[in-house]
Structure 1
């Protein structure tokens, strides 16, 4: 038999996911940018220039979906393709200054929203929650099948 808290958590998780999906659908990307495409900027800024296939692998995402989002980023000037020094026939994606600005705007928007949500929390509760939530996310990722779990955390996963 599972501890009562695990049963409660299993009931709360779908609610959290529904709320996160509502939030995703209501928030537009900064300056009208496609929020789903902007999410690709996180690993590109964290890991540096990547080939499009490596980006899809990193995110454990469908290559065709990543391709569509990359086209948006490049088309809006948020990322650019540069020759891969290891293979001149291939390209890597690099975040532009405009991409960094859009990513910073999205982070500010997320921080402001989380500040509103936690405005009545005391600092100790927020510290405990943040630590436990990070632990939960790490354990959640570790429990996923190897071909489904991201190899590195993706911050700002309110996309």
Structure 2
């Protein structure tokens, strides 16, 4: 079985350099704009906040440990990132229904409205950025980007990458 090093030398180094460069440019542009939508600062949102709110909306109320585990980050990081979301009323801390001593984080109605506002603005940005693309090109790009993110996530967690061939529509990732 070929090793990772064997495969790297068998692939076109120029193409690999171009790929890593484009990923770096994408990461910088994404941070610069925070993929904040159509240029409206009020519709931008910190990446960590967006991913936390998105996870809470998709999976419902949960404790800090569960939220951290699901996002592949440390509990102390989640605690630090959630604090301003609680302070601004986007997330509520409530008692666990079965164990009153445990704290559960829950997306507030205000948080849900803010998340939808940001999503709507980001959808418009995607429309504008991919103007002139065919639906198949958008679908292919989404599938490949999802596959790339999954491979990065698997590598980070030490698991083998799961091929996503045949996945027609990528679900939004909630990973950080």
CA gap of 1:97–1:66, structure 2 versus 1, over 3 A, is same
Partner of 1:153: 173
In the alignment, does 2:116 pair up with 1:104?
A: yes
CA gap of 1:33–1:141, structure 2 versus 1, over 3 A, is closer
Partner of 2:169: none
Superposition TM-score, scaled by structure 1 size: 0.78
Name the CA distance, whole Å, in 2 between partners of 1:154 and 1:93. Answer: 16
> Where do residues 7-156 of structure 1 align in structure 2 (5 Å cutoff)?
7-24=17-34, 28=41, 30=43, 36-146=48-158, 153-154=173-174
CA gap of 1:128–1:36, structure 2 versus 1, over 3 A, is closer
Higher relative CO (Cα under 8 Å, sequence separation at least 6) belongs to: 1
1:28 and 1:34 in contact (8 A); partners too: no
Deviations 1:111-132 (A, max 9, x none): 1111111012122222222222
- Please tell me whether Structure 1 or Structure 2 has the larger radius of gyration of its CA atoms: 2
**What SS does structure 2 have at the residue aligned with 1:154?**
coil
Name the CA distance, whole Å, in 2 between partners of 1:2 and 1:19. Answer: 31
2:34 and 2:46 in contact (8 A); partners too: no
Indicate the larger mover: 75-84 or 33-42: 33-42
**What SS does structure 2 have at the residue aligned with 1:40?**
helix
Superposition TM-score, scaled by structure 2 size: 0.72
**What SS does structure 2 have at the residue aligned with 1:87?**
coil
Unaligned runs of 5+ in 2: 1-8, 160-171
Indicate the larger mover: 2-11 or 48-57: 2-11
Moved beyond 4 Å, runs of 4+: 25-29, 32-35
The alpha carbon displacement at 1:65 in A equals 3.5
Name the CA distance, whole Å, in 2 between partners of 1:33 and 1:125. Answer: 27
**What SS does structure 2 have at the residue aligned with 1:94?**
strand
The alpha carbon displacement at 1:21 in A equals 1.7
